[in-house]
Homo-oligomer: A and B are copies of this chain.
Amino acid sequence: MISVAIMGHGTVGSGVAEILLTHKHKLFTALGEELYIKYILDLREFPESPVADRFTKNFNDIINDLDVSIVVEVMGGTNPAYDYVKRSLQAGKSVVTSNKELVAKHGAELLAIAKETNANFLYEASVGGGIPILRPLSQCLVANEVDEIAGILNGTTNFIFGKMINDNMNFDDALKLAQDLGYAERNPEADIEGHDACRKICILASLAFGKHVYPDSVYTEGITKITLDDVKHANNLGYVIKLIGDVKKTENGKLDICVCPMLISKDCILSDINDVFNGIMVKGDCTGDVVFYGKGAGKLPTASAVVADIVDCGKHLKTRKRMFWTDGDGSNIVSYKDSITSVYLRVEGNGDKAVEAFKDSQVVDANGETIILTKEYHFGEIEEKLAALKADGVNVLSAIRVGNI
């Protein structure tokens, strides 16, 4: 019997407890041992829970119990999650987490502690919810050099784009609908400003390339400026707009990484990922394009990924899984100004000056506005040209990257 402590009894935490109870037999068969919920840490009371007797409000009950070999952190945020996870690992307990903020901010440090104490620190649920992605990336694709990872990593923003594309809804109405349906938080900033997707691409990049990439070193742009007009023009040009987290290895070995709305060609499978679904494309030098698709959030999908990690910890209580990276100082990240991309521009009027500034680009007349799909430039150069146009009185209504995925 392996004793497990679950820290947090919110959406994901209650899902983890539910799966451990309802899928007991299947998990026993897979692991060869019983997984026993010994503690659930939460400040609230849950008298109706079938494991109401296991609740505690005191982390010391968990850390001081030698019997607990696996600690599950599903509290969210970094305080007190960071402290509790760190102390659990230092005590030689294995930790499973779904907390992307924690892993993106402190992954390298926590993995190093786990290595020192010969414990496991697993975090499959932190990216893509129920979609298997991190374990396949580190195990199944081990015989590949990863060239690029590009993904729709946030279901809420993908839902909003879907409503704009298919139902002609503007951004504000689509966001309100997402909130009404419970997909978006009352404070939707983490989703719509791209912070959530940024944490996830940081975790993917860290694991795939071996050095920690911190969120503050990633160029991150949200979707709040995207208009219904842009969505329609993109459609006419054979594209859809998606919020993409992207990291690719450049020729000098550095990482070009960003999170921003992009025009994605309708020929790319990522353009077909709709509603609240996530899709993550991994380009390996041997496999070519591999895509993982599914629900990137939600109680049971996320909890099922957590439970798979618990089982994996249970199988490897005395050995360590190599889902590992070391610390990074940002020196392996390309400045966003040096990133090479083409952009979609929507310009007021006939756009003569903009067309001249972005020579040799594709130009489309559109009802008193001009659409320009530029050739490739360094992003810094694009910024300079846009600033000069603005100074010259040209009204550039939108500038959105064109994904080259």
Contact = CB atoms under 8 A, between A and B. Distances in A.
Contacts of A322: 30, 32
A180 interface: no
A142 B294 contact: no
A148 interface: no
Given A140-B308, A273-B269, A288 B130 contact: yes
Contacts of A124: 140
A145 interface: yes
Contacts of A15: 286
A52 interface: no
A79 B285 CA distance: 33
Given A272-B269, A308-B143, A322-B30, A19 B286 contact: yes
| Count of chain copies | 2
Given A140-B308, A144-B304, 15 more contacts: A130-B286, A130-B288, A131-B290, A135-B140, A136-B140, A142-B308, A269-B272, A286-B300, A287-B294, A287-B300, A288-B295, A289-B295, A290-B292, A290-B293, A293-B293
A308 B272 CA distance: 29
A96 to B, nearest CB: 12
Contacts of A288: 130, 294-295, 298, 301
A26 interface: yes
Chain B CB within 10 Å, residue with most, of A132, A142, A286, A295: A286
Contact of A293 (B32, B269, B295): B269
A288 B304 CA distance: 10
Interface string A292-336: 111100101101110110011000000000100000000000000
A264 to B, nearest CB: 13
A366 B266 CA distance: 30
Interface string A140-164: 1111110000000000000000000
A19 B301 contact: no
B295 A292 contact: no
A2 interface: no
Interface of A: 15, 19, 23, 26-27, 30, 32, 124, 130-132, 135-136, 139-145, 269, 272-273, 277, 284-295, 298, 300-301, 303-305, 307-308, 311-312, 322
A287 B291 contact: no
B142 A26 contact: yes
Contacts of A304: 141, 143-144, 284, 286-287
Chain B CB within 10 Å, residue with most, of A23, A143, A307: A143
Contacts of A292: 290-293
Nearest to A321: B315
A69 to B, nearest CB: 18
A139 B312 contact: yes
Contact of A291 (B285, B289, B293, B298): B293
A224 B390 CA distance: 61
Contacts of A301: 286-288
A30 to B, nearest CB: 5
Contact of A307 (B143, B269, B277, B291): B143
A269 B188 CA distance: 28
Contacts of A145: 23, 26
Contact of A136 (B23, B27, B132, B293): B132
A190 B212 CA distance: 47
Given A269-B272, A269-B273, A27 B143 contact: yes
A339 to B, nearest CB: 26
B295 A142 contact: no
7 contacts: A23-B143, A30-B322, A132-B132, A286-B300, A287-B295, A290-B293, A293-B293
Chain B CB within 10 Å, residue with most, of A15, A141, A144, A307: A144
